[in-house]
């Protein structure tokens, strides 16, 4: 398994920017995919973005495409999520997730495809 710790959340006005970071430790050699999910109060956790650990290919939810950028640094074992043009509907707790299996996920948008999760970092976007 791997351990994940998120940071970088905070309060920002609509249209502003934040950069989230996820520090990865443990069995990093087994990681296939890293993802970001978010969850607003009373709502389901939803997929935001993912990056393949080795190949670096990226995918995004339609709601954040063009505004968020996911990246990874395999040497430093970190995954970042740069967020620009933030909207109030982006307000949520953001979670870093890892699929620590050699095979890739069948559907990278599903929580069940990931094995390890961080504790989350709060992002609040004001009007």
**Is pLDDT above 80 for 24?**
yes
Look at residue 42 in the predicted model and tell me its pLDDT.
93
Partner residues linked to 74 by β-bridges: none
DSSP state of 105: P
Over range 58-70, report the average pLDDT: 98
Q: Which is it for the CA torsion 126, 47, 44, 63, positive or negative?
A: positive
Two structure tokens written together for 50: 């993912």
Look at residue 28 in the predicted model and tell me its pLDDT.
87
Contact 63, 85 (CB under 8 A): no
Other residues' Cβ atoms within 10 Å of the Cβ of residue 37: 25
Phi and psi at residue 6, in whole multiples of 5°? Answer: -90, 155
**Is pLDDT above 80 for 74?**
no
pLDDT > 70 in the chain, percent = 100
Cα dist. 96→29, 60, 89 in Å? Answer: 17, 14, 19
Look at residue 1 in the predicted model and tell me its pLDDT.
81
**Is pLDDT above 90 for 27?**
no
- Residue 29: band (very low, low, confident or very high) from pLDDT cuts 50, 70, 90: confident
């Amino acid at each position: 398994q791997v351990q994940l710790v998120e940071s970088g959340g905070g309060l920002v006005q609509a249209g502003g920017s934040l950069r989230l970071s996820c520090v990865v430790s443990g069995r990093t050699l087994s990681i296939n995919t890293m993802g970001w999910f978010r969850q607003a109060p009373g709502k389901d956790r939803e997929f935001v973005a993912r990056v393949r650990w080795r190949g670096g290919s990226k995918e995004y939810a339609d709601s954040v495409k063009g505004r968020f950028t996911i990246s990874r640094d395999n040497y430093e074992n970190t995954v970042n999520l740069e967020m620009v043009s933030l909207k109030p509907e982006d307000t949520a707790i953001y979670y870093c997730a890892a699929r620590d299996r050699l095979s890739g996920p069948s559907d990278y948008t599903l929580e069940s495809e990931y094995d390890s999760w961080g504790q989350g970092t709060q992002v609040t976007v004001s009007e």
